[in-house]
Structure 1
């Protein structure tokens, strides 16, 4: 993916990666698309778990990888989160549309999270948040958040101001995930 200005946060455990996703889910405007990249096991689904829990206000929501089913849909009082995993999608945009996956992009009130978006990048909206997660040792991760347009740029800026360093992220976690004032 073509990366724009953004932030980089090092997390040292999966609960920190999840907390980062939680905050992003809480503050993301309706209709935000998150495109997640990283090696297998990098923590993409962990980030989405936090995002869905934050967005839907359910800290116990069971969020698992949709690798074999392509899509999970989570609904709650605060909206809908679509979680797509395109790892096994080999036919590109025609398979994406043929499986009905493109419909989630038409839901203006939902958050959409796509793992392995490079399979269909040419048909995705230009304004999105690109999340790249890299392994940093056994538990650590380096999480890059980049916006590719103005609306998502505001979201990434808000995340940067609130939890854009490991110290601020840890303070957010220690507060019981109480939203900081930004």
Structure 2
């Protein structure tokens, strides 16, 4: 049932902006973000993993100079400890960011589904990733808290930092 509400919410959110026929994709309002993340697992994940490294991939559209929306994905690799195998999370999410100024502080969050890899009897669950950071025209550096509310009452959580580079459309 959670999956149904999540999919419905993303469809409503996306269709709100898809109905605007005046959308013009330019290098000033749309770009790809590619980067890396590093974190420390907490909660359930902290019991089984010692460190987290990831790739962060995003496509962003600026609705106005202060509000960005888009799609986020990537891969988060959790290094197992005490002879527990490594595992991972592949997020498929929508995101929103509020930019206070053209260069400076931003707040944002991803919401979607986190697919678990190398995990027996657990496909994944609701994925949330609030973050706060600093940005300029080319770079974003941010702190985040990720949580995948997986099946069987397992939460895959970590806190960390990320760095992305903006690849502009021409």
The TM tier, using the shorter chain, reads under 0.3
Question: Comparing both structures, which one devotes a greater share of its residues to strand?
Answer: 2
Q: Which has the higher contact order (CA 8 A, sep 6+)?
A: 1
Question: Comparing both structures, which one devotes a greater share of its residues to helix?
Answer: 1
* Normalised TM-score (structure 2): 0.26
